[in-house]
Amino acid sequence: MKIAVCIKRVTDSEARIKIGADGKTLDEAGVKFILNPYDEFAVEEALQRKEKAGAGEVVVVSLGPAAAQETIRTALAMGADRGVLLQVDKIPLDGFEVARALAAELRDGGYDLILFGKMAIDDYNHQVGPMVAELLGLPCVTSVAHLDLGVGKGTAEREVEGGIEVVEFPLPAVLTADKGLNEPRYPALKGIMAAKKKPLDVKPTAIAAGGLEVLAMTPPAERKEGRIVGEGSAAVPELVRLLREEAKVL
């Protein structure tokens, strides 16, 4: 089984966000970057599928700056076989441009499965996976939380409002991984050492800014100072009065 996993270097979920001097981008100074948490589920799933099949290859592909090599090495340390970095100066906000570059890389790869995380926790775009599927003409299931693969087809479960959708799809396919799909492994020291020697192909990539022009990045509106209504259950009647009369939400 030949599997591609598309991964992204993102800011750590605990990072404090400081806006850069241009008022349009993140000030990256001192910010920790990690492998996008949803992509970890995709990498883990690929590794388990390969292990189960007893043969195959897991290729991680990332579009990002030179520093994304580290992110790829993390996936290689988990057990992926090789990496490809589509190196750009800056990842455009327009996910369609990213999808186009990834689709061009993946098109002739002969993959049985192409996996993504369901979204990146920095731009919240939720879009590159299904766009790549569309560009490659492949079936796609997004937000997969459970997966069974048979010969030439699979069954997946995905969360929708108020329920779980059970879907069947043919292979090859593009799937995006949700939390709950598996428990990603931590890279062991042996894996980290081995990852340093695994092939990582860096391909300088030209990318257009696309159809989204950033006008400004601003901090979210500050919430006005709240107040402690009181202590213990004695404060409850006053809280309910405030919710009804002041906040008017009851």
Question: From the list 4, 158, 182, 187, which residue makes contact with other proteins (rule: CB under 8 A)?
Answer: 158
Q: According to the binding rule CB under 8 A, does residue 169 interact with other proteins? A: yes
* Contacting other proteins within 95-124 (CB under 8 A): 95-97, 99, 121-124
Name the token pair of 12. Answer: 């750590």
Judged by CB under 8 A, the number of residues near other proteins is 87
CA pair distance 136, 150, nearest whole angstrom: 22
Question: From the list 62, 74, 142, 182, which residue makes contact with other proteins (rule: CB under 8 A)?
Answer: 142
Q: According to the binding rule CB under 8 A, does residue 245 interact with other proteins? A: no
Q: According to the binding rule CB under 8 A, does residue 170 interact with other proteins? A: yes
Of 54-62, 73-81, 104-112, 234-242, the window that binds other proteins (rule: CB under 8 A) is 234-242
Of 65-73, 106-114, 157-165, 187-195, the window that binds other proteins (rule: CB under 8 A) is 157-165
Question: From the list 1, 57, 134, 192, which residue makes contact with other proteins (rule: CB under 8 A)?
Answer: 134
Q: How far is the CB of 55 from other proteins (least distance, A)?
A: 26
Residues 6 or more apart in contact with residue 64 via CB below 8 angstroms? 8, 9, 71, 85, 86, 87, 88, 91
Whose tokens are 């988990």? That residue is 78
Q: According to the binding rule CB under 8 A, does residue 11 interact with other proteins? A: yes
* Contacting other proteins within 184-223 (CB under 8 A): 210-220, 223
CA pair distance 147, 168, nearest whole angstrom: 10
Q: According to the binding rule CB under 8 A, does residue 237 interact with other proteins? A: yes
Q: Is the dihedral of CA 63, 81, 114, 14 positive or negative?
A: negative
Q: According to the binding rule CB under 8 A, does residue 15 interact with other proteins? A: yes
Q: According to the binding rule CB under 8 A, does residue 140 interact with other proteins? A: yes
Residues 6 or more apart in contact with residue 22 via CB below 8 angstroms? none
Q: Is the dihedral of CA 223, 227, 231, 233 positive or negative?
A: negative
Residues 6 or more apart in contact with residue 103 via CB below 8 angstroms? 131, 132, 135, 136
Q: How far is the CB of 17 from other proteins (least distance, A)?
A: 4
Query: Would you tell me the crossing angle of helices 37-53 and 68-78 to the nearest 10 degrees?
Result: 40
